[in-house]
Amino acid sequence: MNETHDCPICSSEVAHWERYPNQVCRRCQSKTSDAYGRRLRFSNTDPSGGLCAVYLDSGEAYLRQICYIDGRKCFVSEHRFGGIVVEVVRD
Ligand SMILES: [Zn+2]
């Protein structure tokens, strides 16, 4: 149950969920930005789930689930057990 895979961005170890094979590590997850490099923060809207995102600088809502980490396109979704999951999009 303690499987890991390499973070697709920085290669550090990430707890592996079969459902989320391209999940990035927590450190990369904290570096999400939009296509123009503006930092974003994704979180659950309440403890039971729901996904919301805001711009760190203005607090303005960000309404897409696509984000970028170090120029890599990623998709953010709600983890089925709570929290959020950021996965690299493989073209
Ligand atoms: Zn990483």
Mean pLDDT score across all residues of the chain: 94
In the chain, what are the domain boundaries? 4-88
What is the SS3 assignment for 52?
strand
Compute, in angstroms, the gap from residue 31 CA to the centroid of ligand 1.
9
| pLDDT for the residue 16 | 95
Compute, in angstroms, the gap from residue 4 CA to the centroid of ligand 1.
12
Compute, in angstroms, the gap from residue 73 CA to the centroid of ligand 1.
13
Alpha-carbon distance 21 to 6, whole Å?
10
Query: What does each of the 91 residues of the chain score in pLDDT, given as a tens digit?
Result: 589 999 999 999 999 999 999 999 999 999 999 999 999 999 999 888 899 999 999 999 999 999 999 999 999 999 988 899 999 998 7
Ligand 1 ion: Cβ-proximal residues, 5 Å cutoff: 7, 9-10, 24-25, 28
| pLDDT for the residue 20 | 95
Compute, in angstroms, the gap from residue 25 CA to the centroid of ligand 1.
4
pLDDT digits (tens, 9 = 90+) for 61-85: 999 999 999 999 999 999 988 899 9
CB atoms under 10 Å from CB of 2, counted, come to 5
Alpha-carbon distance 15 to 72, whole Å?
20
Q: Which residues, 6+ apart, have CB-to-CB distance to 42 below 8 Å?
A: 29, 32, 51, 52, 53, 67, 76, 84, 86
